[in-house]
Amino acid sequence: MYRSWGDDSLYIYGAGIGVTYSADPNVTIQYSASLPEYFAPAAVYATARSMGPDPNVNINYNLSWILPVDAGFFYLARLHFCEIQYPITKLNQRVFDIFLNNQTAYEGADVIAWSLGIGKPVYEDYVVATSGSGLMDLWVALHPDRKSKPEYFDAILNGMEIFKLQDSNNNLAGPNPDLPPQADVEPDKILNKKNGSKSWTTPVIVGAVVGGVALIGLCFLALVLCRGKKSKGKDGSATDGPSGWLPLSLYGNSHSAVSAKTNTTGSYTSSLPSNLCRHFSFAEIEAATNKFDEALLLGVGGFGKVYRGEFEDGTMVAIKRGNPMSEQGVHEFQTEIEMLSKLRHRHLVSLIGYCEDDREMILVYDYMSRGTLREHLYRTQEPPLPWKQRLEICIGAARGLHYLHTGAKHTIIHRDVKTTNILLDEKWIAKVSDFGLSKTGPTLDNTHVSTVVKGSFGYLDPEYFRRQQLTEKSDVYSFGVVLFEVLCARPALNTALPKEQVSLAEWALHCQKKGILDQMVDPYLKGKIYPQCFKKFAETAEKCVSDQGIDRPATGDVLWNLEFALQLQESAEESGSLAANGTSDVENPATVIDGKRDGDDPSMVTRTTTTTSTSTVSIGGRSIISEDSEGLTPSAVFSQIMNPEGR
């Protein structure tokens, strides 16, 4: 059928990539009369991707692929299966469900039941209808089937083909692609200079076009995408594969193409404000990083490696160099520049500039000497942070998010709030970073933005995942997970724990409702958190991770509650409610963070009221007796401070 087969890793969604493997040496691919060899080569059936060996992890995620297609057509999805490794040799050992575009295509798929043996290929065809116009994403997802109670909670796929079907007018034409700007493009930057040829370098074309092939009564005039598996190196990485990147100015969907202003001579100029975002040459970047010396490596993320750099004037910077084979590419690079170049806030990382020379995609930020928040919580050699400092960091991050949601010209939804994207400068000021997945929020006439689900497992809003409807409450959910992380000093996902404890958000919510959240608290913090502060913080985190977005607070309310929790902690420390050794001066020191509702104790309310009324109360850096108070008493302005049960 004149089709080629390529690696599927470029289309895997998110961090849940599963595992790849080849057939056991004793397994031979056995074709049959009903499935001749030309349906797919043996190399396709002799390699596979499954979810992995841990059932506790597998049951909590989908193994998903996202494929770009033209909307408005029917597509035939042909999925190739073959069990190729022992011990999967009999029925009901590996059973899974198949989903196409979030619709159930098949429940209880059992490859052995279909093929009647190990090493015997089989395929399944499904037709998917799409609507609308332009490009869209076609989702293919697999998930273990619980109903059949299989021996292994796992799923498998050996290969996949997507056929585009002509419409009622026998038409296969999609929309014409946007043409990239041709002016000001130097020939030597487009010519392939590696081999000295004059051929043009173009983005990788995924798929092939075929015609005149009759198959099962349907005429497929275009094969949009043909996919299988590619051999892996010993380290598990792909053994080859060309770069999918070109200079940003050559992409039709780049800021240069979309936002550029064309002058009368045909050249274009970037719409990015030059006074806020500087364009660096690659030579400047190399000089600042000593040619990307690994000794200066700060970390590795989804976009690429991050290096510490220093320019000639002594300015310290963090330089993020994009990896061409990364799942994050041109769009994330463009989004980061367009978002951050227009935003300036004390609690947002500042973008200094970027570089797109010589096929590079590099972003230059302010250097944050303390690193990420996660580096100071767990799996680290850094000393543990005091509780008050953790509160201040959470408040700073909340202020950054609040600005994104309400203070910018348009609502901006971050979409990837997590402890590795909250950075700390030398003064421990928290700053939100990494805007590659950010999205402009809904207008006044809409309640949400419909978009493909993106984010990080463990922090992903379940409502957004189910409905693909993004709101600022999705950020609130992710921030709630961050709050629990700060309190408990454990990862958002920990697959080494029992099944019910793998997800921090779910387990913390369970413990909070049972009144035993104190058992999860970072041991370093035992006896160092004032009871009312703990209660307010825990309640805030609990509301943030509510299953429904409508039940979650706005970021402004989250910020207020965190500032109030900090005030309670400071008041207790100043009044001596917390002794110098970190224990409470109440009769039972264990009740500092024992999860009991001490606020229901009248004596506790009395102590809180007395302490607060005789001290200066400051929220968000301003005294309550300020120009906004208009002479009102503290109890009239901040009744919640006088009575923690209020508001």
Q: Are 486 and 378 in contact (CB under 8 A)?
A: no
Q: Catalytic residue, from 97, 416, 434, 598: name it.
A: 416
291 is in an annotated binding site: no
Three-state SS sequence of 577-641: CECCCCCECCCCHHHHCCCCCHHHCHHHHHHHHHHHHCCCCEECCEECCCCCCCCCCHHHHCHHH
Cβ-count burial 313-334 (b if 16+ within 10 Å, e if not): eeeebbbbbbbebebbbbebbb
Residue by residue, DSSP assigns 131-174 as -SSSEEEEEEEEEE-STT--SB---EE-EEEEEEEP-TTS----
Helix (H) or strand (E) holding 544: helix 531-544
Pick from 454, 639, 513, 627: nearest CA to 564? 639
* Distance of alpha carbon 474 from alpha carbon 459, whole angstroms: 9
d(CA 573, CA 21): 57
Q: Which residues pair with 469 in a beta bridge?
A: 450
Q: Please say if 137 is a catalytic residue.
A: no
Phi and psi (nearest 5°) for 112? -65, -40
**CA 229 – CA 50 distance, rounded (Å):** 12
Q: Where are the beta strands (DSSP E) in 208-277?
A: 213-215, 218-220, 222-227, 261-262, 268-269
> Which single residue is written with the structure tokens 């709030």?
417
H or E element in which residue 43 lies:
helix 42-45
Looking at the DSSP bridge assignments, the partners of residue 309 are 317
Compute the residue count for the chain.
647
Q: Looking at the annotation, which residues are catalytic?
A: 416
**Annotation: binding site for ATP:** 320
> Per the annotation, where are the binding residues?
320
